[in-house]
Structure 1
Amino acid sequence: MPIQTDIAGKWNYVSAENFDEYMKEVGIGWAVRTIANKTKPTLEFTVSGDDWTMNSNSTFKNYTLKWTIGKQFDEKTADGRDVSNLFTIENDRLVQIETGKNGGKDSRIERYIENGKLYIVCTSSNVKCTRIYAKA
């Protein structure tokens, strides 16, 4: 099934690898990193054609991101960075290109389903982080 169908619904946090190093690389301060490393967010995706919504809920912060595939937009991330985003679908992966503003770092974030799990791979410069979620 396509990513649009497979990703829809709720996902529970399972694990993260190299998350703190990735957050350091994109310029997130110690206090926010410390909290973010301890949270286990639940993600919920809804898809209607090219219009997508992702809700991230945790004990620390709830955050909603809405986008249209192929349309660039500006955003203040949940951790406070100013970025420009562009979402596309490549090889059945949801790809987010996050371009840092005001001297901020760029990131490529790929989301894909493998063996029933949601993988989120975040890369900035040569620092790579993988977060894994299981369907709720």
Structure 2
Amino acid sequence: MPSIAGTYKHYKNENFDEYFSAVGVPYMGRKMMGLSSPQMDITVDGDQMTIKTSSLMRKVEYTFKLGEEYEEHMPDTVLKCVTKIQNDNEIITESVIPATGEKCGRHYLFTDDECVITLTHDKAKVPAKRYFKRVTS
């Protein structure tokens, strides 16, 4: 079973522009996000997890308890989220936008070599995927 904790470096996207267009992200924001190549660091300490994503444009860090609700602050909204580990190699984050009731989520699938994050949103017909190579465990 691969470890979830580690450092990962982004290397490609799938359906990224289509997804964020459907969600309502402006053109320039989508292009800048699509060109970024963030590093993601994940630490796990018992039932507490920290996911830190860093790029030239933005640094985001969330520390939360697995299974408990927490808030993620996006540039234009706040999400209410719950994150769980599933099958020892998956992280599932289910989110709701309180202002609209729309649901979105992230599914992280880990292998020995990489992490693939699938992004879903009520407004998007197809999910987006972000691919990260494992740098360290």
Give unmatched runs, 5+ long, in structure 1.
none
Deviation, 1:73, is 1.5
- The residue number in structure 1 matching 2:133 is 134
The partner residue of 2:84 within 72, 83, 88 is 88
1:25 — aligned with what?
22
Alignment RMSD, CA only? 1.7
* TM-score (norm: length of structure 1): 0.87
Say whether 1:46 aligns with 2:43. Answer: yes
Unpaired runs of 5+ residues, structure 2, are: none
1:102 and 2:99 aligned: yes
| Matched residue SS, 2:130 | strand
Residues in 2 aligned to 1:56 and 1:105: alpha-carbon distance in whole angstroms: 24
**Cα 1:43–1:127 shift into 2, 3 Å:** same
Q: Percent identity?
A: 23
- The count of aligned residue pairs is 132
TM-score by length of 2: 0.87
CA displacement at 1:124 relative to structure 2: 1.5
Residue 111 in 1 paired to residue 108 in 2? yes
